[in-house]
Amino acid sequence: MKISRTKLIAYLAMVALLASLIVSLLGYSNTTRDIELVKNRLLTMHVENNINLMMKYLQASYGNLSAGDGTLLDSTGKTIEGRFTVVDSVMEDLGDKSTIFVKENDDFRRVSTNIMSDDERALDTYLGRDHNAYETVMRGEIYMGEAEILGDSYYTAYEPIKDTNNNVIGLLFVGMPTEQLDNLMQVHDDKMGAINIAIIVLRAISLGALIILITASIREPRRERKEAENNAGRRKRTAAKEE
């Protein structure tokens, strides 16, 4: 059967539009995954930068720290326990939750923090050996990841505090509530989702309209041929009667 150039173009357009619709659906799924990846990168960059700044705040305020009498001592030999200059500066300048821990036996105890519980600083509580960061910081390495603190989810960084002999004597913590960035990303995700859905709907409507047009273009010649055949038959019958 011979296919006219117009029909061929219409068929190709339908195939292209269908492929475009499929790509849009896949693109929407990929966009959602990409947003999640971007969020995680932003969180990692944020806490990595701020844990480095907190370490500088610590050194500027207290000098080289050492362990003594079950706590951390500044460069003059005074305890930093109950002193909040560093953690409050982190909150004021960076907007992050922060804590200083001292290594106590095989755990870490909070000696300075800006985290509040019942309007009081959450002091003298422990990290816990079952904490996700524990194994990493005990090896002297920085840990970054999500953690729950007093019932709230945070994206966190934990960096070991070391003495001049490179022994782990304490721990720094900074954390950003994941809800803050989740809310920002959700607004962006909603906008992108609405745009993608609108594009998909428009392409689906266009595809449907094109299918209808193609179907109509196929049926029309058939109807015309049938009518022509019927007319020819009527003319023959009329001619036969006249004879």
Instruction: Give the residue with greater pLDDT, 138 vs 242.
Output: 138
Same domain, 52 and 122: yes
Q: What is the pLDDT, as a whole number, of residue 199?
A: 62
What one-character-per-residue DSSP string does 143-163 give?
A: EEEEEEETTEEEEEEEEEEE-
- pLDDT tier, 149 (very low <50, low <70, confident <90, very high otherwise): confident
Domain of residue 121: give its range: 45-178
**What local confidence, expressed as pLDDT, does residue 63 receive?**
94
pLDDT of residue 5: 56
Handedness of CA 132, 138, 144, 147 (dihedral sign): positive
What is the CA 139 to chain-centroid distance, rounded? 29
- Average per-residue pLDDT for the chain: 78
Q: Is there a domain that residue 40 lies in?
A: no
Confidence (pLDDT) at 206: 61
Q: Are residues 113 and 209 in the same domain?
A: no
Query: Is residue 100 located within the same domain as residue 163?
Result: yes
Residues 50 and 160 in one domain: yes
Task: Look at the chain and report how many structural domains it folds into.
Answer: 2
Q: Chain centroid to CA 84: how far?
A: 33
Give the pLDDT score at 173: 97
How far apart, in whole angstroms, are the C-alpha atoms of residue 155 and residue 35? 16
Is it the case that residue 61 has pLDDT exceeding 70?
yes
Q: Which of 67-76, 114-123, 146-155, 176-185 has the lowest mean pLDDT?
A: 176-185
Answering whether pTM is above 0.85, one says no
Q: Are 93 and 172 contained in the same domain?
A: yes
DSSP 126: B
Residue 91: strand, helix, or coil: helix
- Least confident piece of the model among 27-36, 60-69, 84-93, 181-190: 181-190
E-assigned strand segments in 163-232:
168-177
**What is the rounded CA–CA span in Å between residue 127 and residue 135?**
12
13 and 108 in a single domain? The answer is: no
Task: Work out the pLDDT band at 167, boundaries 50, 70, 90.
Answer: very high
Comparison of pLDDT for 6 and 41, the residue scoring more: 41
What whole-number percentage of the chain has pLDDT above 70?
Answer: 58
Identify whether residues 171 and 193 lie together within a single domain: no
**159 and 209 in a common domain:** no
Residue 7 has pLDDT above 80, yes or no: no
CB environment 23-62: b (16+ within 10 A), e (fewer):
ebeeebeeeeeebeeebeeebeebbeebbeebeebbeeeb
